[in-house]
Amino acid sequence: MTYRFVVEPSAQQDALEAALYLEGRSPGQGGRFLDELDRCFKYIQDFPHGFQERRGRFRHAMLAVFPYRVVYEVDGDAIFIYQIRHTSRKPSKSFGP
C-alpha cells in the first residue's frame, strides 16, 4: 500500500530550528541532521507500523544518529508527521514522552 505522507507545518518548523541550531554549533551538522531525518522519513514510509503506538495513535520513531524523535500517526492511507523533538525536552501533553 502506498501512503500519502504529510509533514505538518509545525514539524517542518521543528526540523528547521533543529537543523539551524545544530549547524550553529558545528558546521555541517545541520545538513547531517536533515539527511538523517530524511532516512527516518523513508523508513516510516516503508514501514508505517514499524513503531509501536505510544500515546493514543501516536508513534515515535527515533533518529539513529541524533537524539531526536519523530512523532507521527497512521490514519487510513495517510501518514501525518506532527512533531520532531529532542529527546531531552519535557514530554508533550499531546504526544507523550
Is the pLDDT at 92 greater than 70? The verdict is no
CATH topology of domain 4-86: YaeB-like fold (3.30.2310)
* 33 grid coordinates: 541532521
Average pLDDT, the chain: 91
Is the pLDDT at 48 greater than 90? The verdict is yes
Report pLDDT for 82: 96
Report pLDDT for 97: 54
20-53 CB burial, b ≥16 within 10 A, e <16: eebbeeeeebbeebbeebeebbeebeeebeebee
Q: Where in the chain are the domains?
A: 4-86
Q: What distance in Å separates the CA atoms of residue 35 and residue 91, rounded to the nearest whole number?
A: 25
Residue pLDDT, tens place only, 53-83: 887 899 999 999 999 999 999 999 999 999 9
Whose cell is 512533531? That residue is: 83
Radius of gyration of the chain (CA): 13
